[in-house]
Amino acid sequence: MHSLELLLDDDADASVRADWDRLVEAGLPSSGRHRSPSNAPHITLVAAPALDPATVPGIDDRVAGAAGFVDLPLVSAGVLLFGPRRGTYVLVRQVILTPELLELHRRVCAAAGPAPGQIRTSLPGSWTPHITLARRLSALQVAAALQVIQPPPEPLRAVGLRRWDSDTRTVVRLA
């Protein structure tokens, strides 16, 4: 899956990584178990099977132009659970959908699209902005995870935008 992702400021990034580490230390699933240098806390704006320039010509320039300079205040609304899907849950930090974040999402989706096979939950009107903390949690693990994560710093900030290419495992900074 390819994606266009908002990146967080240093304080927010460190806070999410600290939660990832606390989950690992507690023996729980965590996004921090994936140790690739490209693994970073983020908010997915668009997800599709392919978002590379070969599949979507000109995507990088269009998205960079639509995003402009990214420096956007964000507010966390606590945690959410997605699922159960196949019996497990995804634990995320919900991000409040402000008018500014909604407009950035709309512009980026328009610049990227129509992205072939875009995941429905990343489309305008169906998108829930969030930062993933852990996937594949059982119901019992959810209770344990909620005991170890900490509130994020407020306010959070989005300070960049990148394109993740899951086929080549590379990122391209766009803003």
- What is the sign, positive or negative, of the torsion defined by CA atoms of 78, 82, 84, 89? negative
CATH architecture of 2-162: Alpha-Beta Complex (3.90)
Beta bridge partners of 44: 5
Rounded-to-integer distance, Cα 70 and Cα 14, Å? 19
Dihedral, CA of residue 138, residue 21, residue 70 and residue 155, to nearest 10: 90
Q: Taking all residues of the chain, what is their mean pLDDT, rounded to a whole number? A: 95
For residue range 146-172, what is the model confidence (pLDDT) as tens digits? 999 998 888 899 999 999 999 999 999
The identity of residue 37, as a single letter, is P
Per-residue pLDDT tens for 56-86? 999 999 999 999 999 999 999 899 999 998 8
In the chain, domain spans: 2-162
Question: Tens digits of per-residue pLDDT, 84-130?
Answer: 988 999 999 999 999 999 999 999 999 998 788 999 999 999 999 99
Task: Give the separation between CA 167 and CA 52, rounded to whole angstroms.
Answer: 10
Q: What is the pTM of this model?
A: 0.94
Q: Report how far residue 44's alpha carbon sits from residue 7's, in angstroms, rounded to the nearest whole number.
A: 9
Pair of tokens at residue 130: 């969030």
